[in-house]
Amino acid sequence: MITRRRVLRGLFGVTVALPFLETFAPRRAAAGTGDVPPFAIFMRQANGVAQQVGDEPEMFWPSATGPLTAESMAADADRAVSELKDYASRLIMVRGVRFAFQGNGCGHSGGGNQCLTAAQVSEDPAGNESLAMGESIDNRIATELNPAGVEPLTLYAGRMAGYINEVLSYRGPKQLRAAERDPYKAYQKLFGLAEVDAAAAEALAARRASVNDLVREQMQALMRRKDLSKGDRERLQLHFDSIRDLEVGLACALPPERVAEMEAISPNVGSYDNVETVTRMQMDIIALAMACGATRAATLQVGDGNDSTEYTIHGVRQKSFHKISHRIDGDGEVGPPIEGAQELHHQIDRIHARMFKHLLDRLSSYDLGSGTLLDRGVAVWLNDLADKYHAYSRVPYILAGGAAGYLKTGQFIDERITVNKLLNTIGAAVGCTNGQGGPLDDFGDESLEGGLVDTIIA
Amino acid sequence: MISPACRLTAFPRWRRLFGAQLSVAALLISGCTGAVGDPREGEGDGVIPGGPTGPEVAERSMFPRLTHAQWENTVRDLLRLDDRPGLSASFTSDPLGGVFDNNEAALLVAPGLWGDYQRAAEELAAMVTADQGKLDRIAPADLPDAPEARAQAFVERFGERAFRRPLTAEERDAYVALFQRGEELFEGEDPFAAGVRAAIEAFLQSPHFVYRVEIGAGPAEGGLIPLGGYEIATKLAYTLWNTMPSDELLEAAKAGELSSREAVRAYAGGMLEDQRAREVVGAFHRQLYDYEQYHDLNKDQALYPEFVPEMGDDMQREAELFVDHVVFDEEGGLTDLLTARTAFVNDHLAAVYGVEGDFSDEFKRVELDEAERSGLLTRLGFLAAKATARQPDSIHRGVFVNLRILCAALPPPPDNATSLPPGELATNRERVEAHTGKGTCGASCHGVLINPAGFAFEHYDAIGKYRTTDNGAPVDSADVYTLGGQPRSYADAVEFSQLLAESSEAHACYAQRWIEFSHGRGVRAEDRALVEELGEASRGGASTKELIVRIVSSTPFLARVPAEAP
């Protein structure tokens, strides 16, 4: 049963016997409707998709807009999204999303800056080091809906090659949040729990309170200084706000053999060959985190800023995805063509579709009695670029799950939408509000016209 | 003193240029160069003088956070452990902040890392106090017997090392109070051990431990706030050793021995003789040359049967041994790094270099063929990492030289990259040139900056092996690159490396990188004069160690500017 058994975080990182709450085929009635509040999960693919552009034919979207059914999607078997046909009735595919702002010297960086923020791209730093000038939607959801100090879960799969690494989650302007790329570490931080008896809990609480009080006083003394720069003031404030008393966690766990697999892969999480495996492990953690109510928002970035992963297709390790996405054997503007690059890109889109399906499978495996976990929240497969030209319009966003009935699922729409409206809609669906208490409709840069995407609201 | 007119016009542009990469062209802007006077020797008293002009010191944080590597080293030294505890391997990692891992802008304490610090502090405090031997090592030998005096003496002396300065009376009282609650917080433990345990938990979570706090000593003099002796000791230790100051250095601070530029120079020179300095110099070059990229390479086994996956480690080791040898054994600098032929190879690498002799998995010092190899840019790691499975990647080789070695500003490629139909061209160079060279849409950048630098390396195939033909045609590695405002031609990478080693641009870039690394921040407009000065010194033969000593005894290192009003 998925309950909120509050236990203490493991003493000294030691994990003792955990209550068995989760298996890989859990199909049992558990907590009632409303027990799991709506949540949002974002999986980012890089480098655009192989959709119709220039002289290339459509290989990504369904052949027709309108209702999505298992039959219609099966008939579109040559399209990448057909991998998701089992979930046709739970999907909302949105073609036509555009980013509002120009990048600042690097398309990848500028796309990553905007895809979850709808914010402007920084002028300084510029190029591939540019940053978003506002918070991301996962941060907004966590700030507004999580208990104080509980951050959005920020995960990553693949190599960090050092050109552009994590791009998704922002605390605020230029405040990029680090992403965890090792599932074992992510798991231990969230669920490395131990059952502690009441007396031990009390002792731990007292100890931590004493230390925290002392540290808080030191922080406050520093923050009282008149000669702090704005940056230092923010730095200290973030640190101060991060101090929390008695860390409580939730007694949730994956089966020990799954955790052992995570531990085994831990030294090689950056290897190209492990990207898909690590992605699936991170999804297992995200699904468990949502089931346990550990956070209301999570992001998972697959590959670095301009994903250079050498995916294995038909048993052969290919050239870097970035080069394939440009159709040339080069990361710059020109280079020798890669034979069959569009088809390879299409296959990489399918790999991402299958990974996303794994997330949907995991969410669906938690049966809440009145539906599955997938129905309670919304999972989003997005890109930070549109296509092989790395354009900022027609950026793919594919939503799954209706956020407890807020969203109207089972449809493919083609509307020209600025990304802030879609982010408003997702935020509103999980419970975020604007300054007046109404549904969130003003997220992102203040120069943008606010509002929601009415077509996808139930 | 920089002339106001120049500053007014040049400043915003400089900020932008420095924000991305120091532009080669910008270095040549006249009027702003060479006008800043000599460092103001001998002014003021006590600490390093400020002087009449502040603008050459860039603003920086008063709270640069320890990097995870610094945290590991500091905990080892503070707790007098034999090894780094290794706990930071599970810490939340930091986002990229440029070339190096120590950019203060990226180093924040967010909830995830705060929790990591808390857990680590608890584990370490428990570990140290559970073991009498470990406890004895951190407890001063002559502690008084009376419990209260004993607690106070421990707190004062451990605290001075944890905070890298003496505690204030208020701080001491707060820690003594916590120490005395130890008995109650850790019921059943020995009272002294319990007190130490509580105190260590709190010391390791203090902002004065996790940040290298630089408040400065006293009010601004002439626009600058000089750092105090303890702050200088701390900054020297983290810059040169990547860890907390040694007992000796703290003693020097206490005795006021770090109060002149010459004294700092002397201490820095001595500290560079230590093994810990070798680690730091190694880390600088590891990040600058991006050894990380030497791993997980995919090479066509049919074409390159001698390439094995373990060569990633081998190539990194070779680069590390080479840099260490040049900088420490030879007291060399950038010129040697770009031109020396000494190499350290094992059997895997010797086979690719074509070095004759008996080799095993041990690394052996050899001299490479002077017609084929020069410094780091002609070594396997760089060449194999900048190559595809079958071909040299001339463009990325060229981009690397422009960005990392010359600090040239390259505009990014446009988003709408296009491919050209395959031609009937024989060599790698011909293919790349046909797509990017003169007469193509990529001519402006590729034609004059990227391709000429990249083509210099055409003699090295996809694993870095020397070749004289490509697809049956003779290799052409000759080209022209503009250095010092003059077009310079070269026949191959050996000559190109020599030209780089003679250029102002490469030396200024190397100096710039060291300034960034030493300060833990991006280079700013205010750094320009020092970049030029050190660049010219390096070009004139100053060693890497000399550059480091000059940076840590410069005014920007020893003083800070007051924060801009928020």
- The partner residues of A316 in beta bridges, in order of sequence, read A313
Find the CB nearest A333 among B184, B296, B413: B413
Cross-chain residue pair B94–A178, CB shorter than 8 Å: yes
- Find out whether B86 and B120 touch, Cβ atoms under 8 Å: no
Q: Which pairing describes strands A248-250 and A6-8: parallel, antiparallel, or unpaired? A: antiparallel
**pLDDT category of residue B384 using cuts at 50, 70 and 90:** very high
pLDDT at B40: 30
pLDDT at B7: 28
Judged against a pLDDT cut of 90, whether residue A343 lies above it is answered with: yes
Taking the Cβ of residue A20 and every Cβ of chain B, the question of whether any pair is shorter than 8 Å is answered with no
CB < 8 Å to B98, chain A: 129
Could B20 and A127 be called an inter-chain contact, meaning their C-beta atoms sit closer than 8 Å? yes
Chain B touched by A192 (CB under 8 Å): no
Number of neighbours of residue A4 by Cβ within 10 angstroms: 12
Residues of chain A numbered 54-113 and touching chain B (CB < 8 Å): 103, 105-107
d(CA A257, CA A151): 28
Which of A9, A169, A230, A242 is most worth mutating to test chain B (most B CB atoms within 10 A of its CB)? A242
CA distance B438 to chain A (A): 13
A138, A214, A311, A325: best to mutate for the B interface, most B CBs within 10 A: A214
Q: Does the distance separating the beta carbons of B201 and A335 come in below 8 Å?
A: no
Between B434 and B214, residue with greater pLDDT: B214
Question: Distance from CA of residue B134 to its chain's centroid?
Answer: 33
Please calculate the CA angle A46-B98-B311 and round it to the nearest 5 degrees: 75
Contact B401, B408 (CB under 8 A): no
A13 contacts in chain B (CB < 8 Å) = 90, 119, 123
- A259: Cα within 13 Å, side-chain hemisphere: 18
Inter-chain CB proximity B440 and A334 less than 8 Å: yes
Region A143-156: mean pLDDT is 91
Taking the C-alpha atoms of residue B393 and residue A315, their distance in angstroms, rounded to an integer, is 25
Dist CA A90 CA A402 (whole Å):
7
CB contact under 8 A, B109 and A390: no
State the average pLDDT over residues B36-53.
36
CA distance B318 to B161: 37
Across the interface, whether the CB atoms of B96 and A227 are under 8 A apart is answered no
Do B26 and B14 contact (CB within 8 A), yes or no?
yes
| Closest-CA residue of chain A to B176 | A214
Mean pLDDT, residues B418-440: 63
Query: Which residues are CB-contacts of B380 (< 8 A; sequence separation ≥ 6)?
Result: B311, B315, B318, B349, B352, B353, B463, B464
Confidence of residue A198 (pLDDT cuts 50, 70, 90): low
- Give the full edge-to-edge strand order of the sheet including A411-418: A66-67, A411-418, A91-98, A393-400, A378-383, A40-45, A297-302, A153-157
**A214/B566 CB distance under 8 A:** no
SS3 at position B234:
helix
Nearest-by-CA chain B residue for A106: B412
Q: Residue B136: exposed, middle, or buried by beta-carbon count in 10 A (0-12, 13-18, 19+)?
A: exposed
**Distance between CA atoms of residues A442 and A421, nearest Å:** 8
Cβ of B184: how many Cβ atoms within 10 Å? 14
Is the peptide bond prior to A19 cis by the omega test (within 30 degrees of 0)?
no
pLDDT score for A24: 30
Cα–Cα distance for residue pair B354/B492, rounded to 1 Å: 19
Which residues are CB-contacts of B208 (< 8 A; sequence separation ≥ 6)? A218, B162, B163
Give chain B's mean pLDDT: 86
Least confident of A130-134, B326-330, B352-356, B471-475: B471-475
A224-233, B213-222, B269-278 — which is least confidently predicted? B213-222
Q: Provide the 3-class DSSP secondary structure of residue B15.
A: helix
A16-20, A106-110, A189-193, B197-201: range with highest mean pLDDT: B197-201
- Other CB atoms within 10 Å distance of the CB of residue B162: 23
| Rounded CA separation A15/A194 (Å) | 6
How far apart are alpha carbons A84 and A350 in whole angstroms? 10
> Residue A229 is nearest to which of B96, B184, B566, comparing CB atoms?
B566
CB A126 to CB B206 under 8 A? no
Q: Which of B381, B366, B377, B343 is nearest to B477 (CA)?
A: B377
Which residues in chain B touch residue A164, judged by CB atoms under 8 angstroms apart?
96
Q: What is the reported pTM? A: 0.75
Closest chain B CA to residue A168: B95
Residues 6+ apart with CB under 8 A from B229: B47, B217, B252, B253, B254, B256, B257, B258, B259
Give contacts of B450 with chain A, Cβ < 8 Å: 332
Closest-CA distance, A145 to chain B, in angstroms, reads: 16
pLDDT at A245: 75
Residue B133, C-beta contacts closer than 8 angstroms, at least 6 positions apart: none
Query: Closest-CA residue in chain B for A155?
Result: B92
* pLDDT higher than threshold 80 for residue B45: no
Give the integer Cα–Cα distance in Å for B370 and B466. 12
Whether residue A275 contacts residue A309, with contact meaning beta carbons closer than 8 Å, is answered with yes
pLDDT digits (tens, 9 = 90+) for B392-409: 999 889 989 999 999 987
Cβ pair A219:B207 closer than 8 A: yes
Helices A230-242 and A198-223 pack at an angle, to 10 degrees, of 170
Task: Find the largest Cα–Cα distance for chain B.
Answer: 90
Comparing CB atoms, the residue among B174, B417, B563 nearest residue A328 is B417
Q: What are the start-end ranges of the E strands in B460-552?
A: 469-470, 473-474, 479-483, 486-490
Give me the phi and psi of B207, to 5 degrees please: -60, -25
Amino acid A18: pLDDT: 29
Q: Name residue, tokens 């990647």.
A: B393
Eight-class DSSP state of B368: -
What's the token pair of residue B341?
């032929």
Smallest CA–CA distance, residue B455 to chain A, in Å, is 15
Q: Judge whether A150 is closer than 8 Å to chain B, CB to CB.
A: yes
**Which of B15, B298, B417 is nearest residue A333 as measured by Cβ atoms?**
B417
Instruction: Please answer yes or no on whether A333 and B208 come within 8 Å at the CB atom.
Output: no
Distance from CA of B313 to the nearest CA of A (A): 14
Smallest CA-to-CA distance from A117 within A142, A134, A100 is with A134
Q: Give the model's pLDDT for residue B439.
A: 52
Distance CA B95, CA A178 (A): 5
Strand pairing report for A40-45 and A297-302:
parallel
Q: Is A389 close to B174, i.e. CB distance below 8 A?
A: no
| Across A96-100, average pLDDT | 95
B142 contacts: CB under 8 Å, gap ≥ 6: none
Q: Find the radius of gyration of the CA atoms of chain A.
A: 22
Average pLDDT over residues A117-138: 92
The answer to whether B100 and B239 are in contact (CB under 8 A) is no
Mutation site, B93, B167, B203, B410, interface A, largest A CB count within 10 A: B93
Task: State pLDDT tens for residues A266-298.
Answer: 999 999 999 999 999 999 999 999 988 889 999
All residues at 6 or more sequence positions from A20 whose CB lies less than 8 Å from its CB, including other chains: A253, A255
CB atoms within 10 A of CB A393: 12
Beta bridge partner(s), residue A67: A411
3-state helix, strand, coil in chain B (%, to 5): 50, 5, 40
> Cα–Cα distance between A235 and A213 in angstroms, integer?
19
* Interchain CB distance below 8 Å, A232 and B63: yes
From the CB of residue B116, how many other CB atoms can be counted at a distance below 10 Å? Answer: 21
Compare all CA atoms of chain B with the CA of A341 and give the residue at the minimum distance.
B419
Interchain CB distance below 8 Å, B440 and A219: no
Contact residues, chain B, for A175 at CB < 8 Å = 108
pLDDT of residue B544: 98
Cross-chain Cβ contact A334/B175 below 8 Å: no
| A447–B contact, CB cutoff 8 A | no
Q: What is the mean pLDDT of chain A?
A: 87
Predicted-complex ipTM score: 0.84
B57-to-A231, A264, B60 alpha-carbon distances in Å: 17, 48, 9
Confidence of residue A27 (pLDDT cuts 50, 70, 90): very low
Residues of B within 8 A of A178 (CB-CB) are 92-95, 110, 112
Instruction: Note the pLDDT tens digit of each residue in A380-424.
Output: 999 999 999 889 999 999 999 999 999 999 999 999 999 999 999
Residue B402 near residue B461 (C-beta atoms within 8 A): no
Give the C-alpha separation, B469 to B170, whole Å. 75
In this complex, is the C-beta atom of A331 within 8 Å of any C-beta atom belonging to chain B?
yes
Task: Dump the DSSP string for A62-93.
Answer: -SS-EE--HHHHHHTTTSGGGGGGGGGGGEEE
Interface contact B178-A151, CB threshold 8 A: no
Percent of chain A with pLDDT over 90: 70
Q: Which residues pair with B367 in a beta bridge?
A: B342
In chain A, which residue's Cα lies nearest the Cα of B98?
A129
A271 interface with B at CB cutoff 8 Å:
yes
